[in-house]
Amino acid sequence: MNRLQRMLYGANRRGAALVAGAAEILLPRRCVVCGRPLLERGGQAVDLCDSCLERILPLRKPLCRICGREMPQGTGAGNLCGNCLHTRPSFTLCRSLFVYNETLRRIILKFKFQRRLEVLKVILELAGERVPEGFAECDFIVPVPLHKKRLQKRGYNQSLLLAQGFFGYDNDKIVVKLLERTKNTPPQSTLDRRKRAKNLRNMFCIRQPELLLNKRVCLVDDIYTTGATLEECSKTLVKSGACEVFSLTLGRTPLEKR
Ligand SMILES: [Zn+2]
Ligand SMILES: [Zn+2]
């Protein structure tokens, strides 16, 4: 590098630093969820403010023994919720890590539809130690699949990213080709409860059912609202020979709005 180049290089670097510094003063970093300017500068991996972080809440016990739904305070441990009493799910156990509130909704939208995958990292750090016992011991970990057309459009399956985050990126129990979504139907969030169940009928199929015989499977999905998607996946797995199905979701509608 000659003297001139060094001068130019140095000048550029100083120039770039100046521009970056000015941008930080003029355009403060903002929280990806609420849009408030962040007080601290730099350092944090993701722009998420403390008050949004505090809104990421665990579920409150007691929980339904099967589906993990929050139950009214005072309900005895080990009880079942009305839904599970009415129709026993085909899965043995479902647990969710956080309350699906407005903050979590926005966070999920960020990584699901806006490709803000760094937002997912924050959530996974919080989720770290929260995966309940027994789930990691399943024989297979199966992210709820997207239809291949939707996968092509989005470029990634958010449930696979969650499964990798919960159980490790190189966990060879995570299988994506076992369960397949055969119909590309409207998103569940656009339908009411009755239509959701109908929308999902015969929606999934199993590739290589011989692998499933007497195996315990852990399904992973982003949100549990009515549980219809997980139930449909679980039924398909059990019909094809799985001995037990667990379900794990990131978010869960709480008993009362929080
Ligand atoms: Zn915020
Ligand atoms: Zn229940």
Residues with CB under 5 A from ligand 2 (ion): 64, 66-67, 69, 81, 84
The answer to whether the CB of 232 falls within 8 A of the CB of 198 is no
The pLDDT, as a whole number, for residue 24 is 57
Please tell me the distance between residue 106's alpha carbon and the centre of ligand 1 in angstroms: 10
Nearest to 70 by CA among 81, 56, 55, 57: 81
Overall residue count recorded for the chain in this entry? 258
Cis peptide bond prior to 62, omega within 30° of 0: yes
Please tell me the distance between residue 81's alpha carbon and the centre of ligand 2 in angstroms: 4
Mean pLDDT of all residues belonging to the chain: 87
**What share of the chain in percent tops pLDDT 90?**
60
- Note the pLDDT tens digit of each residue in 191-247: 787 777 777 788 999 999 999 999 999 999 999 999 999 999 999 999 999 999 999
Other CB atoms within 10 Å distance of the CB of residue 105: 13
Q: How far is Cα 41 from Cα 21, in angstroms, rounded to an integer?
A: 11
Q: What is the mean pLDDT of residues 11-15?
A: 60
Cβ contacts of 78-84, under 8 Å, gap ≥ 24: 83/227
Ligand number, closest to the Cα atom of 94: 2
Q: How far is Cα 64 from Cα 78, in angstroms, rounded to an integer?
A: 7
Query: Is residue 94 scored above 60 in pLDDT?
Result: yes
Other CB atoms within 10 Å distance of the CB of residue 130: 14
Please tell me the distance between residue 40's alpha carbon and the centre of ligand 2 in angstroms: 42
User: Residue 245: what are its φ and ψ, rounded to 5°?
Assistant: -125, 130
- The domains of the chain are located at 59-98+131-252
Please tell me the distance between residue 154's alpha carbon and the centre of ligand 1 in angstroms: 26
Assigned architecture for domain 59-98+131-252: 3-Layer(aba) Sandwich (3.40)
The pLDDT, as a whole number, for residue 23 is 60
Residues with CB under 5 A from ligand 1 (ion): 31, 33-34, 49, 52
The pLDDT, as a whole number, for residue 235 is 96
Please tell me the distance between residue 67's alpha carbon and the centre of ligand 2 in angstroms: 4
- Note the pLDDT tens digit of each residue in 35-92: 888 876 555 666 788 899 899 999 999 999 999 999 999 998 889 999 999 999 999 9
pTM assigned to the model? 0.84
- Note the pLDDT tens digit of each residue in 97-130: 999 999 999 999 988 888 787 788 878 887 877 8
Please tell me the distance between residue 162's alpha carbon and the centre of ligand 1 in angstroms: 22
